[in-house]
Structure 1
Amino acid sequence: MNTSHARRIVAQCGVSIDGYSSGPDGPEHDTWLYGHAATEASAEHFEGLWRGCSSALVGRTNYVGFHSVWPGITRDPATDPRTRELGRWLDSVDKAVVSTTLTEAPWENSRIFTDLSTAVATLRSEPGRDILVLNSATVIQSLLAADLVDDLRLSVLPVLLGGGLRLLPEGVSSGWSLVSSTAMAHGAIAVHYRRSR
C-alpha cells in the first residue's frame, strides 16, 4: 500500500529511562507515570498530539481503563479546561479497540477489531487526520514488528524501573529520524521520531 498520502500512525507512550512503559507491579502502581501526566507541561505537550488526530487506536486494557475514569473527569466541575477538552476529545474521537476478548465497546464512537492489521488498514482507508495509538504498549510492539508505525512520540521520564513491560520489542530493526526533542521542567524529555522509509 502506498502510504505517502495515507493517515499516519502515531504511537505515543511514556517510558522510563530503562525503556519500560509499566513497572514490575503493573499499571495500577505506575505513580511515576501518573505524576508526569498530571503536570502542566505534559498536558500542553499531549494537547499538541491529540488535536492533530481524528482516530484513537488502543488495546483492551487501556480502552477499559480510560473508559472507567475519563467520562467522570470530563464532567467534574473542578477539572481544568485543558483536561476537560482532552476528555471531550476522548468522548468524541473515533476509537478503534483491538481485542479478541471484548464483546462490546460501550464508550461512544467505539468499534472493536479482532485483528490489528485489519484495524490499521481500515483506519488508513477512511478519511481523517492522523491515528493516535494511546500508550498501549502491546499494540505499539505489534505495530513496530509489522513496520506500521510512522511516528514515535515518546516521553522519557527520569526514573529507572528495573523491570516491567518493556515498550520496544526484541528482534525489530528499523531506522528513524529525529523530528524534535523537548526538555520539560520536571525532567522528562519528549522526543518525536519519524520512520525512515
Structure 2
Amino acid sequence: MAQDDGGTGQGQRKVVAAYFVSLDGVAEAADRFLTGWDDEVDARGSELIADQDTIILGRRTYDEWVGFWPTSDVEPFASFINAAPKFVATSTPLESEWANSSVIEGDLVEFVKDLKSQPGGDIGIHGSISVTQTLLAAGLVDELQLVVVPTIAPPAGQKKLLDNLPPIKLETVNSAVSSSGYVLSTYRVVH
C-alpha cells in the first residue's frame, strides 16, 4: 500500500486521530451527545479504517473497549479493531487480554516516532484523548478526522479534545455535511 506523506515529504506512515466531537469540542463519552447516525458517517468510518493497520490506545480506552469489541458484531469496525495490532500507552500490565494487544515499552513519543518510520499503513488513534494530545503536542499527529455533532455537550467533567495544547496550524483537507447535520472534516497538521 503506497502511503501519502500528507505533504510532509517524509515518506513516513501517517498518524491519524479520529473523533466524534460536540460543537464545543467535547470528545469524551460521545455516546452521550451523538444525536443520530447516517450513511455518510458510516462511509467516512469505513474509509478511515481502510488505510489503518495499527492502533494506539490509552489505558482507559483499552479497558473500556476490551469488554465490548472482542465479541462485537458492529461491522466493519469490530473486524478491524480485533485484527489490528493495538499498542497501549500504560505503565501497568494489561489485566484483560485482547488479541494483538501489547503495552508500549518506554516513552510514548519515542515509540510512535519509531513506529512511523517502519513500513505499514496509517496509525490510528481512536478514543484516547490524552494520547492524542501528547502526540499532537509532540508534532507526531499528521491528520485529525473529526465528526462534529451539532450539539453542545454537558460540561460535567467531559474532556475536550484540543484543550491545553500549544498553537498548531492545520489545513482543511475536506469537509462535508452529512444528512444528519454532522460536519465531517479532515485536517492536515502543518509540521
Scaled by the length of structure 1, what TM-score is found?
0.83
Q: Summarize deviations over 1:37-91 as a string: whole Å, max 9, x none.
A: x5433222111000101101111111122221112223xxxxxxxx333211111
Give 1 or 2: higher helix fraction.
1
Letter in 2 for 1:86: F
Residue equivalent to 1:187: 181
Which residues of 2 match residues 37-56 of structure 1 at below 5 A?
Answer: 38-56=37-55
- Between the aligned partners of 2:87 and 2:41, the Cα distance in structure 1 is 24
Query: Is 2:70–2:98's contact at 8 Å kept on the other side of the alignment?
Result: no
Structure 1 position 190, deviation (Å): 1.0
Query: Is 2:66–2:96's contact at 8 Å kept on the other side of the alignment?
Result: no
- Between the aligned partners of 2:154 and 2:75, the Cα distance in structure 1 is 34
9, 12, 18: which is aligned to 1:6? 12
Change in 2 beyond 3 A, CA 1:11/1:171: closer
- Between the aligned partners of 1:124 and 1:116, the Cα distance in structure 2 is 12
Residue equivalent to 1:78: none
SS in 1 for 2:147: strand
128, 134, 145: which is aligned to 1:136? 128
71, 78, 82: which is aligned to 1:87? 78
| Unaligned ranges ≥5, structure 1 | 75-82
Structure 1 position 104, deviation (Å): 5.1
Query: Is 1:105–1:111's contact at 8 Å kept on the other side of the alignment?
Result: no
Which residues of 2 match residues 48-197 of structure 1 at below 5 A?
Answer: 48-74=47-73, 83-103=74-94, 106-113=97-104, 114-163=106-155, 164-197=158-191
SS in 1 for 2:66: helix
Query: Is 2:133–2:165's contact at 8 Å kept on the other side of the alignment?
Result: no
Structure 1 position 171, deviation (Å): 4.3
| Unaligned ranges ≥5, structure 2 | 1-7
- Between the aligned partners of 1:32 and 1:96, the Cα distance in structure 2 is 28
- Between the aligned partners of 2:107 and 2:96, the Cα distance in structure 1 is 16
Query: Is 1:13–1:136's contact at 8 Å kept on the other side of the alignment?
Result: no
- Between the aligned partners of 1:155 and 1:7, the Cα distance in structure 2 is 23
Residue equivalent to 1:79: none
- Runs of 4+ aligned residues of structure 1 deviating over 6 Å after TM superposition are none
Query: Is 2:56–2:126's contact at 8 Å kept on the other side of the alignment?
Result: yes
- Between the aligned partners of 2:78 and 2:117, the Cα distance in structure 1 is 26
Structure 1 position 196, deviation (Å): 1.7
Change in 2 beyond 3 A, CA 1:196/1:116: same
Scaled by the length of structure 2, what TM-score is found?
0.86
SS in 2 for 1:166: coil
